[in-house]
Amino acid sequence: MKTIQDIRIRFIGAGNMAASLMGGLLNKGLTASQITASDPGKNQRDYIESQFHIQTFDANDAHFGIPDIAVIAVKPQLMKTVLQDVKPCLERTQPLVISVAAGITTEQISRWLDMQVAVVRTMPNTPALIGQGAIGMYANQLVSAEQIQQTEQIMDAVGTSLWVEKEAQIDTVTALSGSGPAYFFMFMEYLQEAAEQLGLEPADAALLTRKTAIGAALLAERSPETLATLKQRVTSPNGTTAAALACFDQLLIDQVIKQAITAAHDRSKELSQEFD
């Protein structure tokens, strides 16, 4: 059985997410000779070559080789066109196809290729850039046990991965962890702005905001207690935290958050129809 130390991987698209995967794989022991990549952007190709010493090409079908895995790391609106570009290569080599495009289903990928193909649909997030990604994965019925293991090794190279049983659940993963970093950045931004308005220097407000977010996240990760219990432990009756939480409750923040997550979930589903 091949492990990631034995396989060859072709990246179609070499943007930030692909670059984070490449860096993670090299840190896990792959050699640059096991990976090739294509991207139309010269600046991005130059970055990949200088940063990772990986051979890159401007055309998706150039020097495709015989990869075990083809990672399609392009935007959803480009997926159909890109798959048609590499269809002859995929027909010839029959690799596992891993997609990181939001909203695009495994059925669409197979249909656009007009062939039966093993496809894993994944949803990484931007903290993968620093090895702290949260990645959801779904495999169609043609994916073998060996390919399941290989996908886990690839995604675990940049964070923590988990499988979902139903493909529709990837839309929820997209709304939660795929888009989730932006929600936390926005909340942190508002915290910092409020602290500045109340008199803190911008640099001090920025430092305290970031350290508070990091500390809370690490405590949540390392503690066996639920989030509700952790929140309760910070909240003294009639204290400062209680006053802030009461304001959140009055503003129905919980309902706003649920509506926002639902909007992201629904948009993920819409993407598959929009680009079909």
The domain that contains 246 carries what CATH number? 1.10.3730.10
Are 49 and 145 within one domain? Answer: yes
Identify whether the C-beta of residue 104 lies closer than 8 Å to the C-beta of residue 272. Answer: yes
Are 193 and 212 within one domain? Answer: yes
Residue 262 belongs to domain spanning: 180-272
pLDDT at 260 over 90: yes
Are 15 and 131 within one domain? Answer: yes
Round to whole Å and give the CA distance between 137 and 156.
Answer: 11
Of 136, 170, 204, the last residue of a domain is 170
Are 151 and 207 within one domain? Answer: no
Are 148 and 201 within one domain? Answer: no
Of 150, 170, 190, the last residue of a domain is 170
Are 191 and 262 within one domain? Answer: yes
Q: In what order do the strands lie in the sheet with 96-99?
A: 55-57, 35-38, 9-12, 69-72, 96-99, 119-123, 133-139, 159-163
**Mean pLDDT value across the chain:** 96
56 within domain boundaries: yes
254 within domain boundaries: yes
Are 120 and 159 within one domain? Answer: yes
Backbone phi and psi for residue 72, each to the nearest 5 degrees, phi listed first: -95, 100
99-153 pLDDT per residue, tens: 999 999 999 999 999 999 999 999 999 999 899 999 999 999 999 999 999 999 9
225-249 pLDDT per residue, tens: 999 999 999 999 999 999 999 999 9
Mean pLDDT of 92-104: 96
Of 170, 191, 216, the last residue of a domain is 170
Are 63 and 111 within one domain? Answer: yes
Percent composition of the chain: helix, strand, coil (DSSP 3-state, to 5): 60, 15, 30
3 within domain boundaries: no
Are 164 and 196 within one domain? Answer: no
**Distance of alpha carbon 162 from the chain centroid:** 12
Round to whole Å and give the CA distance between 166 and 161.
Answer: 15
Identify whether the C-beta of residue 209 lies closer than 8 Å to the C-beta of residue 217. Answer: no
234 within domain boundaries: yes
Contacts of 207 (CB under 8 A, 6+ apart): none
Are 145 and 212 within one domain? Answer: no
1 within domain boundaries: no
175 within domain boundaries: no
pLDDT band at 24 (very low <50, low <70, confident <90, very high): very high
Q: What is the CATH number of the domain that holds 154?
A: 3.40.50.720
Round to whole Å and give the CA distance between 85 and 178.
Answer: 27
2 within domain boundaries: no
Round to whole Å and give the CA distance between 71 and 82.
Answer: 12
4 within domain boundaries: no
Are 223 and 249 within one domain? Answer: yes
28-53 pLDDT per residue, tens: 889 999 999 999 999 999 999 999 99
Identify whether the C-beta of residue 75 lies closer than 8 Å to the C-beta of residue 102. Answer: no
Mean pLDDT of 82-111: 96
Domain count, the chain: 2
Are 124 and 165 within one domain? Answer: yes
pLDDT at 4 over 80: no
